[in-house]
Amino acid sequence: MAHLIVIGAGPAGLSAAVSAAEQGLPVTVLDEFTEPGGRMPGQYHEEGSQGWWVGKHVSDELITRCRELGVDIRCGVSVHGMEYTTTWEISTSCGLFTADYVLLATGAAEIPVPLDGWTLPGVMSIGAAQVMTNVHYVKPGERGIIVGMNVLSMAIACELSVAGVKVAAITLPCANPLAGAAADPTASAKLLLQLSGLAPAAWMRAGGRLAAAMRMEKLIACCYPHRGFRLWDIPIRLRTAVLSVNGQDRVESVTLIHVKPDGSPIPGSERVEPADFVALSGGLYPLAELAAVAGCKFVYSPELGGHVPLHGERMETSLKGLYVAGNITGIESGLVAMAQGRLAAASMLHAAGLGGAGGEQRVQEAICEVHFARKHALIQFHPGITEARTQLYQQWGQTSGSGA
Protein backbone atom coordinates (compact mmCIF):
# COMPACT_ATOMS: atom_id res chain seq x y z
CA MET A 1 0.00 0.00 0.00
CA ALA A 2 1.08 3.59 -0.63
CA HIS A 3 2.72 5.44 2.26
CA LEU A 4 2.58 9.16 3.05
CA ILE A 5 5.27 11.16 4.82
CA VAL A 6 4.22 14.57 6.12
CA ILE A 7 7.06 16.99 6.91
CA GLY A 8 5.80 19.53 9.42
CA ALA A 9 3.46 18.89 12.38
CA GLY A 10 1.62 22.20 12.26
CA PRO A 11 -2.01 22.88 11.31
CA ALA A 12 -1.61 21.86 7.66
CA GLY A 13 0.47 18.75 8.33
CA LEU A 14 -1.64 17.37 11.17
CA SER A 15 -4.91 18.06 9.32
CA ALA A 16 -3.58 16.22 6.26
CA ALA A 17 -2.39 13.31 8.41
CA VAL A 18 -5.81 12.91 10.00
CA SER A 19 -7.66 13.06 6.67
CA ALA A 20 -5.31 10.57 4.99
CA ALA A 21 -5.26 8.15 7.92
CA GLU A 22 -9.05 8.18 8.15
CA GLN A 23 -9.10 6.74 4.62
CA GLY A 24 -6.62 4.00 5.52
CA LEU A 25 -3.39 5.53 4.20
CA PRO A 26 -0.35 4.81 6.44
CA VAL A 27 1.10 8.16 7.56
CA THR A 28 4.36 9.23 9.20
CA VAL A 29 4.76 12.83 10.39
CA LEU A 30 8.25 14.30 10.85
CA ASP A 31 8.98 17.56 12.65
CA GLU A 32 12.23 19.08 13.89
CA PHE A 33 10.61 20.57 17.02
CA THR A 34 10.36 18.54 20.22
CA GLU A 35 6.54 18.49 20.23
CA PRO A 36 3.87 18.48 17.49
CA GLY A 37 1.55 21.40 16.88
CA GLY A 38 3.77 23.94 15.15
CA ARG A 39 2.83 27.52 16.03
CA MET A 40 -0.74 26.60 16.95
CA PRO A 41 -0.27 26.15 20.73
CA GLY A 42 0.72 29.82 21.06
CA GLN A 43 -2.14 31.27 19.02
CA TYR A 44 -5.55 32.53 19.99
CA HIS A 45 -7.65 35.21 18.38
CA GLU A 46 -11.25 36.10 17.65
CA GLU A 47 -12.80 34.75 14.45
CA GLY A 48 -15.89 36.95 14.24
CA SER A 49 -19.12 35.10 14.99
CA GLN A 50 -17.15 31.89 15.60
CA GLY A 51 -15.74 33.35 18.80
CA TRP A 52 -12.18 32.76 19.98
CA TRP A 53 -9.95 30.40 18.00
CA VAL A 54 -7.69 28.73 20.57
CA GLY A 55 -4.80 27.06 18.81
CA LYS A 56 -3.83 24.90 21.80
CA HIS A 57 -7.25 23.24 21.81
CA VAL A 58 -7.21 22.69 18.04
CA SER A 59 -3.68 21.30 18.20
CA ASP A 60 -4.55 18.89 21.02
CA GLU A 61 -7.60 17.62 19.13
CA LEU A 62 -5.59 16.95 15.97
CA ILE A 63 -2.77 15.22 17.85
CA THR A 64 -5.23 13.04 19.76
CA ARG A 65 -7.01 12.09 16.53
CA CYS A 66 -3.68 11.24 14.87
CA ARG A 67 -2.79 8.89 17.71
CA GLU A 68 -6.21 7.24 17.58
CA LEU A 69 -5.67 6.56 13.87
CA GLY A 70 -2.17 5.16 14.35
CA VAL A 71 -0.30 8.04 12.72
CA ASP A 72 3.42 7.79 13.50
CA ILE A 73 4.45 11.25 14.76
CA ARG A 74 8.21 11.65 15.15
CA CYS A 75 9.47 14.89 16.65
CA GLY A 76 13.03 16.13 17.02
CA VAL A 77 13.74 14.90 13.49
CA SER A 78 15.47 17.25 11.05
CA VAL A 79 15.03 16.60 7.32
CA HIS A 80 18.08 17.55 5.25
CA GLY A 81 17.64 15.73 1.95
CA MET A 82 14.94 14.59 -0.49
CA GLU A 83 15.33 12.59 -3.70
CA TYR A 84 12.90 10.73 -5.95
CA THR A 85 13.89 7.49 -7.67
CA THR A 86 11.03 5.00 -7.80
CA THR A 87 9.82 6.39 -4.47
CA TRP A 88 10.72 9.41 -2.35
CA GLU A 89 13.80 8.99 -0.18
CA ILE A 90 13.88 11.34 2.79
CA SER A 91 17.24 11.81 4.54
CA THR A 92 16.88 12.82 8.17
CA SER A 93 18.82 13.17 11.40
CA CYS A 94 17.53 9.72 12.45
CA GLY A 95 17.93 7.80 9.22
CA LEU A 96 16.34 7.30 5.82
CA PHE A 97 12.58 7.21 5.21
CA THR A 98 10.86 6.18 1.99
CA ALA A 99 7.36 7.02 0.80
CA ASP A 100 5.21 7.13 -2.31
CA TYR A 101 3.78 10.50 -1.38
CA VAL A 102 5.29 13.43 0.51
CA LEU A 103 3.54 16.51 1.86
CA LEU A 104 5.68 19.55 2.65
CA ALA A 105 3.93 21.52 5.38
CA THR A 106 6.98 23.32 6.74
CA GLY A 107 5.20 26.59 7.53
CA ALA A 108 6.85 29.99 7.68
CA ALA A 109 9.70 31.85 9.35
CA GLU A 110 9.89 35.36 10.75
CA ILE A 111 11.59 38.15 8.83
CA PRO A 112 14.30 39.77 10.98
CA VAL A 113 14.23 43.50 11.74
CA PRO A 114 17.81 44.64 12.38
CA LEU A 115 18.29 47.86 14.30
CA ASP A 116 20.89 49.43 16.57
CA GLY A 117 21.11 47.40 19.80
CA TRP A 118 19.07 44.43 18.60
CA THR A 119 21.60 41.90 19.99
CA LEU A 120 20.95 42.93 23.62
CA PRO A 121 19.29 40.35 25.87
CA GLY A 122 15.61 41.23 26.03
CA VAL A 123 15.30 41.84 22.28
CA MET A 124 13.32 39.05 20.63
CA SER A 125 11.09 38.29 17.69
CA ILE A 126 7.37 38.88 18.15
CA GLY A 127 6.88 35.12 17.76
CA ALA A 128 9.24 34.46 20.66
CA ALA A 129 7.21 36.84 22.84
CA GLN A 130 4.07 34.94 21.83
CA VAL A 131 5.57 31.54 22.70
CA MET A 132 6.92 32.75 26.03
CA THR A 133 3.54 34.20 27.00
CA ASN A 134 1.03 31.71 25.58
CA VAL A 135 2.96 28.44 25.65
CA HIS A 136 5.36 28.73 28.59
CA TYR A 137 3.28 31.27 30.59
CA VAL A 138 6.32 33.47 31.19
CA LYS A 139 6.12 37.22 30.67
CA PRO A 140 8.76 38.45 28.20
CA GLY A 141 9.16 41.48 30.48
CA GLU A 142 7.30 44.06 32.50
CA ARG A 143 7.15 46.82 29.88
CA GLY A 144 7.83 46.33 26.20
CA ILE A 145 7.91 47.98 22.79
CA ILE A 146 6.80 46.23 19.61
CA VAL A 147 8.64 47.33 16.46
CA GLY A 148 6.78 46.80 13.19
CA MET A 149 3.13 47.17 12.19
CA ASN A 150 1.80 44.12 10.39
CA VAL A 151 -0.72 41.33 10.86
CA LEU A 152 1.63 39.35 13.08
CA SER A 153 2.46 42.20 15.44
CA MET A 154 -1.13 43.41 15.75
CA ALA A 155 -2.56 39.95 16.41
CA ILE A 156 0.12 39.06 18.97
CA ALA A 157 -0.12 42.49 20.62
CA CYS A 158 -3.78 41.68 21.30
CA GLU A 159 -2.78 38.29 22.75
CA LEU A 160 -0.14 39.90 24.99
CA SER A 161 -2.63 42.49 26.19
CA VAL A 162 -5.19 39.80 27.06
CA ALA A 163 -2.46 37.91 28.94
CA GLY A 164 -1.67 40.99 31.03
CA VAL A 165 1.66 41.86 29.40
CA LYS A 166 2.29 45.61 29.31
CA VAL A 167 3.02 46.86 25.79
CA ALA A 168 4.02 50.53 25.97
CA ALA A 169 3.65 51.12 22.23
CA ILE A 170 3.71 49.65 18.74
CA THR A 171 6.08 51.67 16.55
CA LEU A 172 7.82 51.56 13.19
CA PRO A 173 11.46 50.65 12.56
CA CYS A 174 13.69 53.48 11.37
CA ALA A 175 14.04 53.81 7.61
CA ASN A 176 17.02 51.84 6.26
CA PRO A 177 17.73 49.63 3.23
CA LEU A 178 16.58 46.51 5.10
CA ALA A 179 13.39 47.98 6.60
CA GLY A 180 11.75 48.74 3.25
CA ALA A 181 8.02 49.46 3.36
CA ALA A 182 7.89 48.51 7.06
CA ALA A 183 9.30 51.98 7.87
CA ASP A 184 6.78 53.79 5.64
CA PRO A 185 3.84 55.28 7.60
CA THR A 186 1.62 55.35 4.49
CA ALA A 187 2.21 51.65 3.76
CA SER A 188 1.63 50.84 7.43
CA ALA A 189 -1.58 52.91 7.48
CA LYS A 190 -2.87 50.94 4.50
CA LEU A 191 -2.14 47.70 6.32
CA LEU A 192 -3.81 48.92 9.51
CA LEU A 193 -6.97 49.71 7.56
CA GLN A 194 -6.97 46.17 6.17
CA LEU A 195 -6.74 44.90 9.75
CA SER A 196 -9.74 46.90 10.96
CA GLY A 197 -11.62 43.65 11.57
CA LEU A 198 -9.33 43.05 14.56
CA ALA A 199 -10.42 46.29 16.26
CA PRO A 200 -12.28 45.82 19.57
CA ALA A 201 -15.06 48.35 18.88
CA ALA A 202 -17.72 48.18 16.15
CA TRP A 203 -17.22 51.84 15.19
CA MET A 204 -13.48 51.20 14.67
CA ARG A 205 -14.19 48.21 12.44
CA ALA A 206 -16.77 50.11 10.39
CA GLY A 207 -14.59 53.22 10.15
CA GLY A 208 -11.59 51.16 9.10
CA ARG A 209 -13.51 49.41 6.34
CA LEU A 210 -14.83 52.76 5.07
CA ALA A 211 -11.39 54.40 5.12
CA ALA A 212 -9.88 51.41 3.33
CA ALA A 213 -12.55 51.54 0.65
CA MET A 214 -11.87 55.26 0.17
CA ARG A 215 -8.09 54.66 0.08
CA MET A 216 -7.39 57.21 2.78
CA GLU A 217 -4.02 55.82 3.91
CA LYS A 218 -2.04 58.86 2.66
CA LEU A 219 -4.35 61.27 4.47
CA ILE A 220 -4.18 59.18 7.63
CA ALA A 221 -0.37 59.09 7.51
CA CYS A 222 -0.24 62.87 7.13
CA CYS A 223 -2.75 63.63 9.88
CA TYR A 224 -1.84 60.88 12.33
CA PRO A 225 -0.89 62.34 15.74
CA HIS A 226 2.59 61.58 17.07
CA ARG A 227 1.13 60.39 20.38
CA GLY A 228 -0.84 57.75 18.47
CA PHE A 229 -4.23 56.17 19.07
CA ARG A 230 -4.93 53.43 21.60
CA LEU A 231 -6.04 49.94 20.62
CA TRP A 232 -6.46 47.34 23.41
CA ASP A 233 -5.02 50.16 25.56
CA ILE A 234 -1.81 50.04 23.47
CA PRO A 235 -0.65 53.24 21.72
CA ILE A 236 -0.33 52.64 17.96
CA ARG A 237 2.37 55.16 16.99
CA LEU A 238 2.34 55.31 13.22
CA ARG A 239 4.55 58.42 13.13
CA THR A 240 7.18 57.17 15.60
CA ALA A 241 10.17 54.91 14.94
CA VAL A 242 12.73 53.16 17.15
CA LEU A 243 16.14 54.72 16.59
CA SER A 244 18.01 52.37 18.95
CA VAL A 245 17.66 49.86 21.77
CA ASN A 246 19.67 50.89 24.83
CA GLY A 247 21.16 49.07 27.81
CA GLN A 248 24.32 47.64 29.33
CA ASP A 249 23.70 43.96 30.00
CA ARG A 250 20.08 43.88 28.78
CA VAL A 251 17.35 46.13 27.42
CA GLU A 252 16.78 49.18 29.59
CA SER A 253 15.18 51.64 27.19
CA VAL A 254 14.65 52.58 23.55
CA THR A 255 15.32 55.84 21.77
CA LEU A 256 12.29 56.94 19.76
CA ILE A 257 12.11 59.56 17.04
CA HIS A 258 9.16 61.15 15.26
CA VAL A 259 9.00 60.64 11.50
CA LYS A 260 7.41 62.44 8.59
CA PRO A 261 4.63 60.84 6.50
CA ASP A 262 7.31 59.45 4.14
CA GLY A 263 9.18 57.82 7.04
CA SER A 264 12.13 60.22 7.18
CA PRO A 265 13.15 61.18 10.75
CA ILE A 266 12.44 64.60 12.25
CA PRO A 267 15.71 65.89 13.78
CA GLY A 268 15.45 67.02 17.39
CA SER A 269 12.41 64.86 18.19
CA GLU A 270 14.37 62.07 19.87
CA ARG A 271 13.32 60.89 23.31
CA VAL A 272 14.04 57.89 25.53
CA GLU A 273 11.27 55.48 26.55
CA PRO A 274 11.87 52.95 29.37
CA ALA A 275 11.40 49.29 28.42
CA ASP A 276 12.77 45.93 29.50
CA PHE A 277 11.90 43.99 26.35
CA VAL A 278 11.59 44.76 22.64
CA ALA A 279 9.68 42.54 20.20
CA LEU A 280 10.67 42.82 16.54
CA SER A 281 8.06 42.06 13.89
CA GLY A 282 9.04 41.99 10.22
CA GLY A 283 6.29 39.62 9.12
CA LEU A 284 6.58 36.07 7.76
CA TYR A 285 7.98 34.37 4.67
CA PRO A 286 7.34 30.83 3.37
CA LEU A 287 9.81 28.27 4.72
CA ALA A 288 10.44 26.48 1.42
CA GLU A 289 14.06 25.31 1.48
CA LEU A 290 13.10 21.62 1.34
CA ALA A 291 11.05 22.25 -1.79
CA ALA A 292 14.17 23.75 -3.36
CA VAL A 293 16.26 20.77 -2.23
CA ALA A 294 13.70 18.44 -3.82
CA GLY A 295 13.94 20.34 -7.11
CA CYS A 296 10.59 22.12 -7.23
CA LYS A 297 9.97 24.99 -9.60
CA PHE A 298 9.39 28.31 -7.82
CA VAL A 299 7.51 31.53 -8.42
CA TYR A 300 7.80 34.88 -6.66
CA SER A 301 4.67 36.56 -5.32
CA PRO A 302 4.76 39.45 -2.82
CA GLU A 303 1.09 38.81 -2.02
CA LEU A 304 1.96 35.27 -0.96
CA GLY A 305 4.93 36.39 1.12
CA GLY A 306 7.82 35.71 -1.27
CA HIS A 307 9.08 32.69 -3.17
CA VAL A 308 6.71 29.71 -3.13
CA PRO A 309 6.85 26.32 -4.86
CA LEU A 310 4.87 26.31 -8.10
CA HIS A 311 1.76 24.25 -7.38
CA GLY A 312 -1.78 23.69 -8.54
CA GLU A 313 -5.09 24.21 -6.80
CA ARG A 314 -5.03 20.54 -5.75
CA MET A 315 -1.76 21.32 -3.90
CA GLU A 316 0.41 19.17 -6.23
CA THR A 317 3.88 20.40 -7.22
CA SER A 318 5.84 19.87 -10.43
CA LEU A 319 7.40 16.70 -8.94
CA LYS A 320 5.65 13.33 -8.87
CA GLY A 321 4.05 12.50 -5.53
CA LEU A 322 5.13 15.77 -3.87
CA TYR A 323 2.45 18.05 -2.45
CA VAL A 324 2.47 21.26 -0.39
CA ALA A 325 0.06 22.84 2.11
CA GLY A 326 0.02 25.67 4.62
CA ASN A 327 2.33 28.67 4.75
CA ILE A 328 4.90 27.12 2.43
CA THR A 329 2.35 27.92 -0.31
CA GLY A 330 1.80 31.52 0.85
CA ILE A 331 1.25 33.26 4.18
CA GLU A 332 -2.32 32.83 5.41
CA SER A 333 -4.20 31.94 8.59
CA GLY A 334 -4.18 28.64 10.45
CA LEU A 335 -7.74 27.93 9.33
CA VAL A 336 -6.69 28.15 5.66
CA ALA A 337 -3.64 25.96 6.36
CA MET A 338 -5.85 23.27 7.90
CA ALA A 339 -8.21 23.35 4.91
CA GLN A 340 -5.24 23.10 2.55
CA GLY A 341 -3.95 20.10 4.49
CA ARG A 342 -7.27 18.31 4.08
CA LEU A 343 -7.29 19.20 0.37
CA ALA A 344 -3.77 17.84 -0.12
CA ALA A 345 -4.80 14.59 1.58
CA ALA A 346 -7.88 14.27 -0.64
CA SER A 347 -5.75 14.89 -3.74
CA MET A 348 -3.15 12.29 -2.75
CA LEU A 349 -5.80 9.71 -1.89
CA HIS A 350 -7.46 10.27 -5.25
CA ALA A 351 -4.11 9.99 -7.06
CA ALA A 352 -3.35 6.77 -5.18
CA GLY A 353 -6.73 5.32 -6.15
CA LEU A 354 -7.85 5.12 -2.53
CA GLY A 355 -10.66 7.62 -2.77
CA GLY A 356 -13.10 5.25 -4.44
CA ALA A 357 -15.84 6.44 -6.73
CA GLY A 358 -16.29 9.62 -4.70
CA GLY A 359 -12.62 10.60 -4.71
CA GLU A 360 -12.94 13.41 -7.24
CA GLN A 361 -16.01 14.77 -5.48
CA ARG A 362 -14.10 14.88 -2.19
CA VAL A 363 -11.30 16.80 -3.89
CA GLN A 364 -13.76 19.36 -5.24
CA GLU A 365 -15.44 19.69 -1.84
CA ALA A 366 -12.04 20.23 -0.23
CA ILE A 367 -11.22 22.95 -2.78
CA CYS A 368 -14.48 24.68 -1.84
CA GLU A 369 -13.55 24.42 1.85
CA VAL A 370 -10.24 26.20 1.18
CA HIS A 371 -12.06 28.99 -0.68
CA PHE A 372 -14.54 29.32 2.19
CA ALA A 373 -11.81 29.44 4.84
CA ARG A 374 -9.90 32.06 2.88
CA LYS A 375 -12.96 34.24 2.31
CA HIS A 376 -14.09 34.18 5.94
CA ALA A 377 -10.74 34.21 7.79
CA LEU A 378 -10.59 37.32 9.94
CA ILE A 379 -6.79 37.51 9.78
CA GLN A 380 -5.47 38.24 6.27
CA PHE A 381 -1.70 38.65 6.09
CA HIS A 382 -1.41 40.27 2.66
CA PRO A 383 -3.86 42.04 0.34
CA GLY A 384 -4.58 40.44 -3.00
CA ILE A 385 -4.26 36.83 -1.82
CA THR A 386 -7.16 35.55 -3.93
CA GLU A 387 -5.91 37.25 -7.09
CA ALA A 388 -2.36 36.01 -6.48
CA ARG A 389 -3.64 32.46 -6.02
CA THR A 390 -5.57 32.68 -9.29
CA GLN A 391 -2.47 33.85 -11.15
CA LEU A 392 -0.39 31.08 -9.56
CA TYR A 393 -2.83 28.37 -10.59
CA GLN A 394 -3.01 29.78 -14.12
CA GLN A 395 0.78 29.64 -14.31
CA TRP A 396 0.67 26.07 -13.00
CA GLY A 397 -1.82 25.11 -15.70
CA GLN A 398 0.35 26.65 -18.41
CA THR A 399 3.48 24.92 -17.10
CA SER A 400 2.00 21.50 -16.40
CA GLY A 401 -0.43 21.42 -19.30
CA SER A 402 -2.95 19.95 -16.90
CA GLY A 403 -5.34 22.87 -16.91
CA ALA A 404 -5.46 22.60 -13.11
Instruction: Please choose, from the candidates 163, 229, 153, the residue with its C-alpha nearest in 3D space to the C-alpha of residue 381.
Output: 153
Smallest CA-to-CA distance from 106 within 312, 400, 331 is with 331
Residue 196: the pLDDT is 57
Q: What is the pLDDT of residue 132?
A: 94
Cβ(317)–Cβ(399) below 8 Å: no
pLDDT more than 70, % of the chain:
90
Q: At a CB cut-off of 8 Å and minimum separation 6, what does 331 contact?
A: 108, 283, 284, 285, 286, 304, 305, 381, 382
Using one digit for the tens of pLDDT, what is the confidence trace for 18-39? 999 999 999 999 999 999 999 8
Q: Which of 161-170, 190-199, 386-395 has the lowest mean pLDDT?
A: 190-199
> Which of 88-102, 104-118, 195-209 has the least mean pLDDT?
195-209
| 88-92 β-sheet, strand order | 79-84, 88-92, 95-99
Which of 65-74, 87-96, 153-162, 388-397 shows the lowest mean pLDDT across its residues?
Answer: 153-162
Return mean pLDDT, the chain. Answer: 89
Q: What's the pLDDT score for residue 182?
A: 84
The pLDDT-based confidence of 220 (bands split at 50, 70, 90) is low
Beta strands 123-125 and 108-110 are: unpaired
* Contact criterion met (CB below 8 Å) for 372 and 386: no
Tens digits of residue pLDDT in 273-311: 999 999 999 989 999 999 999 999 999 999 999 999 999
Higher pLDDT, 354 or 273: 273
Could you tell me the pLDDT band of residue 203, with boundaries at 50, 70 and 90?
very low
Cα separation, 242 vs 174, whole angstroms: 6
3-state secondary structure of 336: helix
Do the beta carbons of residue 351 and residue 4 sit within 8 Å?
Answer: no
Whole-angstrom distance, CA of residue 345 vs CA of residue 341: 6
> Which of 209 and 190 is assigned the larger pLDDT?
190
| Distance separating alpha carbons of residues 289 and 102, to the nearest angstrom | 15
pLDDT band, very low/low/confident/very high, at 50 (cuts 50, 70, 90)? low
The answer to whether 377 touches 337, Cβ cutoff 8 Å, is no
